[in-house]
Amino acid sequence: MATNSELPSLQVLICTYNEGIAGIPQLLLPARRGVSYLVSHQYSEPLSISAQHVADALEGRHDVTLVRHQGKGLSRNRNTALENATAELLLIADDDAHFSDNAFDDIRRAMAGQPDAIAATFRISTPEGTPYKRYPERTRHTRRSIFRISSIELVLRREALLAHGIRFDERFGLNARFPCCEEIVLSHDLLASGCLFPMFPMVIAYHSAASSGRNYQSVASCRARGALLARTLGWRGYLAMLLFGLRHRHEFTDDRTLFSFLKDAHSGFVEVFAHHEPDT
C-alpha cells in the first residue's frame, strides 16, 4: 500500500459567493500533508467588515489559496477554481458541506488505484447518517447513472481535464441561464471523453437532504431539465423529456401540471438544441 507521501496530491475546491465566505473556516479540516484548499470567492458587492476579516484570515493558512474575482454564476466560479488549481486531484465542494475525517485519505488511495480515471464519484450522507440518495451497486458510471450525480461527490484528475479541454458549461448552475444540472453536464462530458469514470462506495461528506435542483414547481428548473436533455442527448432528449414528465407526473400540482412542465422544458430544450447537438 502506498504511503501518504506517495499518494497523489488533493486540492479541495470551495466556491463561495459574496458573504458566503464567512462560513468557510468551519469547513476546513486541520492541515495535513498532500492536501490543500482553493477558495474561489466570487463577489458582486463589497464585503462586510466581518467577512473581510475572514478572507484575511484564510490567506494566513499555508494550505489555503484564496482567489477573489468579480462576477456571477456558480459554473463560472468553478471554472475559475479549475483554472487556478495546482494539485493532481480536485475535489468539488459546496460551501455548506462538511467532510468526513477519513475523506481525503480515502479519495487519494482510491484514485491512486485507478490512475487512468479522469474522474470518480464517492458517496455523501445527511448529517444524521442517512444516505443522501439511493446509490447504484456498480463500479463504473454509465450514460444513465450520471443523471444522479451531485457535484460534491465528484473528484477530478486535473491533467486529464486539461488534456480533454473539459470545463463546466457556464449556461448551467446557480445564477446562470439554467439554474441547475451543471454537474450532470460536466459528468456527461467526462464520460464522453472515453476515459475511465469509476464510482466508489466510501462516504466522504455530509450534506443536508435539501437540494435546489429537484424542483418541478419552478419554471427555471423545468427549463433547465429540457436544456440538460438537449445538451446531453441531442434530439433523443426530446423523447426523454416526455418520459421524464410522465414518470414524475405525481409530483406536479394543480398550479404546476404535467402540461406546464413540458411547456417550460420544451422552451429550454429548443434554446439549447438550436445551438448544440452532441455526438450520440
Q: How many domains does the chain have?
A: 2
Q: What CATH number has the domain bearing residue 111?
A: 3.90.550.10
Q: Count of CB atoms within 10 A of residue 275's CB? A: 9
Q: Is residue 213 part of a domain?
A: no
| The predicted structure's pLDDT at residue 213 | 44
Residues contacting 254, CB < 8 A, separation 6+: none
Instruction: Confirm if 142 and 132 have CB atoms less than 8 A apart.
Output: no
pLDDT score recorded for residue 253:
78
Place of cell 459528468: 187
> Final residue of a domain: which of 206, 235, 262?
206
User: Last residue of a domain, which of 206, 227, 248?
Assistant: 206
Q: Are 156 and 243 contained in the same domain?
A: no
Which residues form the domain of 223? 219-273
Q: What is the pLDDT of residue 170?
A: 97
Give the HSE-up count for residue 202: Cα atoms under 13 Å, Cβ half-sphere. 18
**Rounded to whole angstroms, how far apart are CA atoms 223 and 268?**
4
Q: Are residues 85 and 55 in the same domain?
A: yes
- Do 171 and 32 lie in one domain? The reply is yes
Residues 244 and 185 in one domain: no
* The last residue of a domain, from among 206, 236, 263: 206
Are residues 158 and 231 both part of a single domain?
Answer: no
Residue 160 resides in a domain: yes
Do both 226 and 168 map to the same domain? no
- Name, in order, each residue with C-beta under 8 angstroms of 121's C-beta and a sequence gap of 6 or more: 141, 149, 153, 154, 155, 198, 199, 200
Digitized pLDDT (tens) for each residue of the chain, 280 residues in all:
566 668 999 999 999 999 999 999 988 999 999 999 999 999 999 888 888 888 888 988 999 999 999 999 999 999 999 999 999 999 999 877 789 889 999 999 999 999 999 999 999 999 888 998 999 888 999 999 999 999 999 999 999 999 999 999 999 999 999 999 999 999 999 999 999 999 999 999 988 875 544 566 689 999 999 999 999 999 999 999 999 889 888 877 777 888 999 999 999 999 999 876 444 4
What order of strands is seen across the sheet that includes strand 119-125? 64-70, 35-43, 10-17, 89-93, 154-157, 119-125, 199-206, 98-99
Looking at the fold, whether 177 and 228 belong to one and the same domain comes out as no
> Residue 148 corresponds to which amino acid?
R
Q: Are 178 and 171 in contact (CB under 8 A)?
A: yes
d(CA 51, CA 44): 14
pLDDT value at residue 280:
43
Looking at the structure, do residues 192 and 224 belong to the same domain, yes or no?
no
> What global pTM score does this model have?
0.91
Does 52 share its domain with 75? Answer: yes
Decide if 8 is inside a domain.
Answer: yes
Same domain, 127 and 92: yes
Instruction: Count other Cβ atoms within 10 Å, centred on residue 245.
Output: 21
How far is 110 from 113, CA to CA, in rounded Å? 5
Please check whether residue 56 lies inside any domain of the structure.
yes
pLDDT at 39: 96
Distance separating alpha carbons of residues 225 and 227, to the nearest angstrom: 5
Mark whether 233 and 168 lie in a shared domain: no
In a domain, 278, yes or no: no
